[in-house]
Amino acid sequence: MKKRMMTAALTACLLLTACGSTAKAENVPAKNTADTSITAADDSEYIYCVGSVSKVYSTAAVMQLVDEGKVELDAPVTEYIPEFRMADPRYKDITVRMLMDHTSGIMGSSQANGDLYDDNENDRHDHLLEYLSKQRLKADPGKFAAYCNDGFGLLELITERVSGMTYTDYVRKHISGKLGVENTGTPIDMFRNEKLVPSVAEGNQRMETCYCMAIGDGGIYATAADTALFGASFFKDDHTLLSENAKNAMATRWNDNAYCDENGLGWDYTELSRYQAQGVKVVGKGGDVSMDHAHLLVAPEEKISVAVLSNGGGSTQNQMVAEAILDAVLEVNDDTAEDSAAPECTTVTEIPAEYEKYAGWYIVNIMGGGDSLYNVSFPEHKYLHIEETTHRTTTCRDYLLTTEGDFAELAYEIAENGFDTQLAPGYSRLSFEENADGTFLRADGGLTYPGLGALEGHTYAGQKIEENPVSDDVINGYRANEGTSFLLVGEKYSSGNYESAVGQLYVIDKLRGYVFFGGHGMDYILKMTDKNHLDSFKSIPSSSSRDMWDVTAERDGDRIIGITVTNGWHLISEEGIPVLDANVKTVTIADNAAWYTISDSIANNSVTVTRPEHSAVYVYNKFGEVIYTTHNKDAKPQIPMPKGGKVLFLGQSGDSFGITM
């Protein structure tokens, strides 16, 4: 990986206890550290947020309590958190194990105040039970696994209730302390630590540190060395943290269906096929927060632990680096490590009529990204045609049926006499499954990263849906609000959620009774229940059903003036906000936020703002994109006023901002 000073930081640590030595490769600060010994007190390393790798820590914490006989894996969560409630009676059936393997049925992620700039107030911890009390379940507990952050927030609370300690103190005593490491903690005890990696956003922008306050889900901070040492505690016969039974339970895949999520307890995966072929078991976990990214890969029997942490990039790229390091240690030859994501296949020229039952509309979500609407058809029984629709675009793709019963994507090239067709490069295959729960679209594919390699993937990606027979009155009630921007309010001045604070809704014309809701290229398809309620409805048995939420609209006649989302967000209509022009000299905050539309009379100029200590200012262009924030350490006092944009003032109720044009 190329060195990019101040735009990306990467630290990789390899721990080999089998041969009694350690080695570290580090990029930023630049220096040659190969073949040097790593110690727990190595001050040359940055401390990163390890993101969702934190889930292995919170799982390990509760598994320690299981080892001590204080927690039972298959006991209900209510036994340890008696006040845990949800707006769905099935919550009583959620067990501790289900929190660890993502099968609880909980909707996903409570978002409010989860990431805070230069602030570590533990609002998300203190209000998690309140947020969950207003949510229903998306599936029966135990039915299927779909990535769920809130489950690990509950594990954090279980640790506290059973141990009688704060989670931060527990981690410090029972994880960091037992490992003998100093540079592992949470935002509570790592706040403003001088060794925290500098936060640098796209365009070489130096940002304040954004702390992940969803601690059990993603709020562990550590060096790569500490993270690798934590991974080493899962080596066979190492009982520093856990018993062999506990580690084996964590490393056991929850379900053997190849298209279901492959996680164990805490781990993202408990096997990788290309290592299995060599008789090597690996477990691993990735993590991403606003700017920090991580991957921890462990081969327990070979006693190899690899941690790759970065500021910039992503956990998938970090996984590729971790696998490359593991390959080098295992001395995997080129033939074994070659990309297997493009297998040969034979296609057929006629699609049997029986496939027509799969034609129709599907909601598709590729591993937690935004939703798309697929229209599946089989023109003249010659090929599979997909028309993919979002609120912005419609694109088409075609696939040929293979002799294996799945469909391989076609690539079109312009030839001398028109279009020439051939199978697309890489590995893009679709198939269908019909069972008692519905009809599902399965995807097999490979994510290719030039210079790093490819990762294979197999998942349930979509679910067949039907028209929703709501009345014209309900549909028109939402259509009247199409394109209106809804603006986030109510969160702390430091909340990172204001980075994407503008959303819209659009009625789906092609399929009755649904809307796209979202913004910034990430839309979610919701089902109209009535004029005031939009519900998530996916039951795709994979992480394609992660992070679901329901929406309640507050109306003034046909006009929606407010939106409440079950993940903790509250938004207001842009139509009710004032205009910022030369007459505005003072802005006073209510409900933590004051939104203004920029008047054309001051557009393309700048203003100067004097503000209280605990406050922030954001500026958004006409597309809802952030072009200025005071969380940028290099932010100038002159604040730009783009034409058609908006300004957001954040602070505490009653705070005042002075405006100078």
pLDDT, position 441: 97
pLDDT, position 333: 61
The CATH number covering residue 87 comes to: 3.40.710.10
Confidence tier at 521 by pLDDT (50, 70, 90): low
Neighbours of 442 (CB within 10 A): 18
pLDDT, position 20: 29
Alpha carbons 463 and 441: distance in angstroms, whole number? 6
Residue 3 lies in a domain: no
Confidence tier at 355 by pLDDT (50, 70, 90): very high
Are the C-beta atoms of residues 486 and 504 closer than 8 Å to each other?
yes
Residues 42 and 176 in one domain: yes
Residue 296 lies in a domain: yes
Mean pLDDT of 537-546: 96
Mean pLDDT of 247-263: 96
Alpha carbons 129 and 126: distance in angstroms, whole number? 8
What element of type H or E holds 27? strand 21-27
Residues 327 and 237 in one domain: yes
Residues 460 and 517 in one domain: no
Residues 268 and 232 in one domain: yes
Neighbours of 380 (CB within 10 A): 7
User: pLDDT tens digits for 461-490?
Assistant: 999 999 999 999 999 999 999 989 999 999
Indicate the residue type of 42. D
Residue 345 lies in a domain: no
Residues 46 and 189 in one domain: yes
Residue 560 lies in a domain: yes
pLDDT, position 453: 73
How many Å separate Cα 312 from the centre of its chain? Answer: 15
Residues 188 and 219 in one domain: yes
pLDDT, position 590: 86
With 70 as the cut, is the pLDDT of residue 163 above it? Answer: yes
Residues 388 and 266 in one domain: no
Alpha carbons 382 and 397: distance in angstroms, whole number? 14
How many Å separate Cα 290 from the centre of its chain? Answer: 10
The CATH number covering residue 418 comes to: 2.40.128
β-pairing, 579-580 vs 593-598, is parallel
With 90 as the cut, is the pLDDT of residue 17 above it? Answer: no
User: pLDDT tens digits for 581-595?
Assistant: 999 999 999 878 999
Residue 100 lies in a domain: yes
What element of type H or E holds 609? strand 605-610
Of 447, 465, 483, the residue that ends a domain is 465
pLDDT, position 338: 46
Residue 346 lies in a domain: no
Mean pLDDT of 14-26: 46
For residue 133, give the nearest of 160, 106, 98 by alpha carbon. Answer: 106
pLDDT, position 40: 42
Are the C-beta atoms of residues 389 and 370 closer than 8 Å to each other?
no
For residue 296, give the nearest of 547, 37, 99, 57 by alpha carbon. Answer: 57
| 231 phi, psi to nearest 5 deg | -60, -35
With 60 as the cut, is the pLDDT of residue 38 above it? Answer: no
- Residues ≥6 apart with Cβ < 8 Å to 452: 317, 320, 321, 324
Of 411, 433, 465, the residue that ends a domain is 465
pLDDT, position 605: 95
User: pLDDT tens digits for 365-395?
Assistant: 976 678 999 999 999 999 999 999 988 889 9
The CATH number covering residue 637 comes to: 2.60.120
Total of domains in the chain:
4
With 90 as the cut, is the pLDDT of residue 301 above it? Answer: yes
Ranking 205-214, 274-283, 367-376 by mean pLDDT, the lowest is 367-376
3-state secondary structure 286-340: EEECCCEEEEEEEECCCCEEEEEEEECCCHHHHHHHHHHHHHHHHCCCHHHHCCC
With 50 as the cut, is the pLDDT of residue 320 above it? Answer: yes
Residue 392 or 404, more confident: 404
Mean pLDDT of 2-18: 55
Of 445, 465, 485, the residue that ends a domain is 465
User: pLDDT tens digits for 407-447?
Assistant: 999 876 544 555 444 555 455 899 999 999 999 999 998 76
pLDDT, position 582: 95
Alpha carbons 651 and 329: distance in angstroms, whole number? 52
- Measured CA distances, 346 to 70, 340, 343, 408, 629 (Å): 56, 17, 10, 9, 54
Q: Within 13 Å of residue 240, how many CA atoms lie on the same side as its CB?
A: 17
Confidence tier at 95 by pLDDT (50, 70, 90): very high
Residues 451 and 483 in one domain: no
Residue 434 lies in a domain: yes
pLDDT, position 143: 97
Average pLDDT, rounded, for the chain: 90
pLDDT, position 451: 73
Residues 485 and 443 in one domain: no
pLDDT, position 27: 36
Residues 390 and 270 in one domain: no
Residue 32 lies in a domain: yes
User: pLDDT tens digits for 544-590?
Assistant: 999 999 999 999 999 999 999 999 999 999 998 999 999 999 999 98
With 80 as the cut, is the pLDDT of residue 305 above it? Answer: yes
pLDDT, position 529: 98
Neighbours of 24 (CB within 10 A): 23
Write out the residue range of the structural domain in which residue 434 sits.
Answer: 353-465
Residues 35 and 162 in one domain: yes
pLDDT, position 2: 29
Residues 96 and 135 in one domain: yes
Alpha carbons 580 and 587: distance in angstroms, whole number? 10
Cβ-based burial of 2 (10 A; exposed 0-12, middle 13-18, buried ≥19): exposed
pLDDT, position 591: 79
